[in-house]
Amino acid sequence: MKKERFICPYTVYDHLEELDPSDAELLRFAHDAARNAYAPYSKFNVGAAVRLANGAVVLGNNIENAAYPSGLCAERVAMFAAMAQYPGVPFEALAVTAWSATKAIDEPVAPCGACRQVMVEVEQVSQRPLRVLCQGDTGPVMVFDGVESLMPFIFLDKFL
Ligand code: THU
């Protein structure tokens, strides 16, 4: 028997000004996108912004539905839109933020497992690390320099 452990490195920034300017800009895009979320049921408004290698920025936000599973998270809306609009263009970074009218969100949003699995695929296809930036409406920013730090024991296409 052998006990193992994962190390999931990430960086925490207390202020947006400490970030690389293009990362700070991507977070601002995500905040803007969150304003347009359609989240009448959870009232948890998430915004996402993807930066591609060609410089394009693609936005997404969570879109809910009365038949709950029919909605989609902000991250996947943004990633799928980017793949649809710019097929074959590698992804560089993804920023995620959230706000709520009912409570302060002052800690980083943790992307759900399904979105992380999509990030894995995106990173593989991009053949470069996908930087993931997470923030609440305010507060610190967590930066992951690749999806592996967010998603240990990844399910990969090589298993198929
Ligand atoms: N949500 C996202 O958009 N991204 C996440 O990372 C977590 C959850 C959405 C789904 C749903 O519309 C609402 O937040 C509450 O779960």
pLDDT at 155 over 90: no
Q: 43 C-alpha vs ligand 1 centroid, how far in Å?
A: 10
pLDDT at 120 over 90: yes
Residues with a known catalytic role: 75
pLDDT at 157 over 90: no
| Ligand 1 pocket, residue 134 CB under 6 Å | no
| Ligand 1 pocket, residue 48 CB under 6 Å | no
pLDDT of residue 6: 87
Give me the percent of the chain exceeding a pLDDT of 90: 91
- DSSP collapsed to 3 states, the chain: CCCCCCCCCCEEECCHHHCCHHHHHHHHHHHHHHHCCECCCCCEEEEEEEEECCCCEEEEECECCCCHHHCECHHHHHHHHHHHHCCCCCEEEEEEEEEECCCCCCCCCCCCHHHHHHHHHHHHHHCCCCEEEEECCCCCEEEECCHHHCCCCCCCHHHC
